[in-house]
A and B are shown apart, each in its own frame.
Chain A
């Protein structure tokens, strides 16, 4: 053990009593000669003191009075705990259970098919029939908007012409006709 770099990482293990004598002896020699490493060791011992005091000062945690009885009862009832349940493999099925499962699955599939057929029939009844669809074909063709406006303009123009001619005829008739009750 020549350098502090070799010695320092071993100090905690030395204080924890985890070093063999072959490892501890050279470290002890180094500590005697090296003040900085001795200071590191003292620092570690001071730190350990916090844990020692904390450990002895811990008040025991109160355990519910019926805890042991409850746990033992649950254990014998087959409760494996949350994790045990997650990890437990599914139990193997017997032949009778498998046959029963197949019957249930077959009946379920048949029931699902019946429900599907009935629902399709109901849906069919609510759809519009063929005649309804043909009725749309009889509707007049939709005239595009610009054409419709032009047609309207033409109609309006014809009406205006007709109205103008009618006014002229009325005017001419009034000029040429005698008064009905002229005194």
Chain B
């Protein structure tokens, strides 16, 4: 898996992993410190509750620790950790009854292109305001669509990596992303019709 612009000091990570496996608690603490901010950023795409975010990140690190001896060094530590964190979040969503793999809509069926186009965010708008609107729209989407959008648009994951993490084919990733973007646009224009552009 390749997560763009997310590969700091892989050699250091490997050293810290080996030291952790040798029983050095401080080395594992350094690994946690190194990636905790990204893990918090990832978790907050799925819940706004600070306690839940902290619990999810802690759970992900504890799971990573118990599986540290299975880390193959074929990918970066962050990529490996990211996969564990994502699966932790998916499990948590299932336990909460918010199944990420069920949807009333068939993700394979592609929607007809909308006649109304969406405008790019206004250059005059505050970036924080744009972010607020984007996240509010994301929250309205079914989990199945929010996941792929987070992985692709925020984490910049390649289709193959998304497929690996979710256990689906690349074709399903493509069609799910297609639908997810269409849903995002539909909800954005529903909540903020002022951003619509007629053809």
Residues of A within 8 A of B (CB): 8-9, 12-13, 16, 18, 39-40, 42-61, 63-64, 67-76, 79-84
Contact = CB atoms under 8 A, between A and B. Distances in A.
Contact of B131 (A43, A54, A68): A54
B121 interface: yes
A76 B174 contact: no
A61 B44 CA distance: 8
Nearest to B149: A51
Given A9-B110, A12-B181, A72-B28, A60 B134 contact: no
A47 B118 CA distance: 7
A42 B118 CA distance: 9
Interface string B136-156: 000000000000010011100
Please name the 7 residue pairs, one residue from A and one from B, whose CB atoms are nearest each other, closest first: A51-B153, A54-B134, A57-B127, A72-B29, A81-B62, A68-B32, A57-B131
Contacts of B62: 71, 74-75, 79-81, 84
B98 interface: no
A46 B59 contact: no
Given A12-B181, A51-B153, A76-B25, A46 B117 contact: yes
A37 to B, nearest CB: 9
A72 B32 contact: yes
Contacts of B175: 9
Given A44-B181, A47-B184, 8 more contacts: A9-B174, A46-B118, A48-B153, A61-B53, A67-B57, A67-B58, A71-B62, A72-B28
Interface size class of B (residues with CB under 8 A): 35 or more
B73 interface: no
Given A69-B29, A72-B26, A83 B158 contact: no
Contact of B37 (A12, A39, A48, A60): A60
Interface of B: 25-26, 28-30, 32-33, 36-37, 40-41, 44, 53-54, 57-59, 61-63, 65-66, 88, 91, 110, 113, 117-121, 127-128, 130-131, 133-135, 149, 152-154, 158-159, 174-175, 177-178, 181, 184-185, 188, 199
Contact of A43 (B57, B88, B118): B118
Contact of A63 (B40, B127, B131): B40
A124 B102 CA distance: 61
Contacts of B199: 39
B116 to A, nearest CB: 9
A57 B130 CA distance: 8
Contacts of B26: 72
Contacts of A9: 110, 174-175, 178
6 contacts: A18-B174, A53-B127, A57-B128, A61-B41, A76-B25, A81-B63
A16 B151 CA distance: 12
Contacts of A61: 37, 40-41, 44, 53
A68 B33 contact: yes
Nearest to A52: B153
Given A8-B113, A42-B117, A51-B154, A75 B37 contact: no
Contacts of B127: 53, 56-57
Contacts of B88: 83
B105 to A, nearest CB: 17
Contact of A55 (B29, B58, B154, B159): B154
B20 to A, nearest CB: 9
Contacts of B185: 43, 47
Contact of A71 (B40, B61, B158, B174): B61
Contacts of B177: 12, 16
